Amino acid sequence: MDTLIELRNTAVYQKELLVLSDVNLTINKGEFVYLVGITGSGKSSLLKILYADLKLKKGEGTIVGFDLHKLKSKQIPKLRRKLGIVFQDFQLLFDRSVRDNLMFVMKATDWKDKKKMEERMMDVLTKVGLETKAHKMPHQLSGGEQQRLSIARALINDPEIILADEPTGNLDPETSRGIMKLLKSISETGRAVLMATHDYALFDEFPGRLIKFEDGHVLATVE
């Protein structure tokens, strides 16, 4: 199996505050992984380490071939091109259309060929079921559609890993099921999906590996 993430004896800090200690974790291609624990247990902080929003100060960590301990600022954009990040609050650009939200990301990550950009945009919109909504503004979409757009944005550069931080947190149960089906289908294409959540209702219907955060530690890894 291809290892995409490996953490060894890793500590996670928010500024000078120790949030997690002695984290040991290996994630392989195609895995669907739940990070579970109460709010403030360190799930989001660990994700921030993985996409280099927080610096790894202690321990060893690699993600898609990048050494997180030695990562330089100029390497962070290259790392993030291999990751897709999905947030609870969508973080869309509300002053531009669905199409232009995706175009903005492609331009920011050095896409140049306009024909290929259009093709890729329609490809990811079709994958998330928004192929007829390219001209709409985000405020014209439902909450579930906005989250689908944020997943389309995460997929635009064909990432090896999706990092999803409470992606169903603001959605009703039925809409959440649709988002979960979409994320599961993404993992079945060989990508790893890491999803921070405290919604335990999802686990029975959408089985995955469970990683539990409690009292400053990653307590259990259950298949």
Q: In this structure, which long-range contacts are made by residues 180-187, counting pairs with CB atoms below 8 Å and at least 24 apart in sequence?
A: 180/205, 180/206, 181/206, 182/128, 182/129, 182/148, 182/151, 183/32, 183/151, 184/32, 186/151, 186/155, 186/162, 187/30, 187/31, 187/32, 187/162
What predicted TM-score, i.e. pTM, was given to this entire model?
0.90
Q: What is the pLDDT along the chain (223 residues), one digit of tens a residue?
A: 589 999 999 999 988 899 999 999 999 999 999 999 888 889 999 999 999 999 999 999 999 999 999 999 999 988 988 999 998 776 899 999 999 999 999 988 888 999 999 999 999 999 999 999 999 999 999 999 998 999 999 999 999 999 999 888 888 888 889 999 999 999 999 999 999 988 878 888 899 999 999 988 887 565 5
**pLDDT the model gives residue 201:** 81
Domains (ranges, CATH) in the chain?
A: 1-82+160-171+187-223 (3.40.50.300), 85-158 (no CATH)
CB 13 within 8 A of CB 19: yes
pLDDT, position 137:
96
- pLDDT of 1 reads 58
Total Cβ atoms within 10 A of residue 215: 9
Q: What's the pLDDT score for residue 172?
A: 87
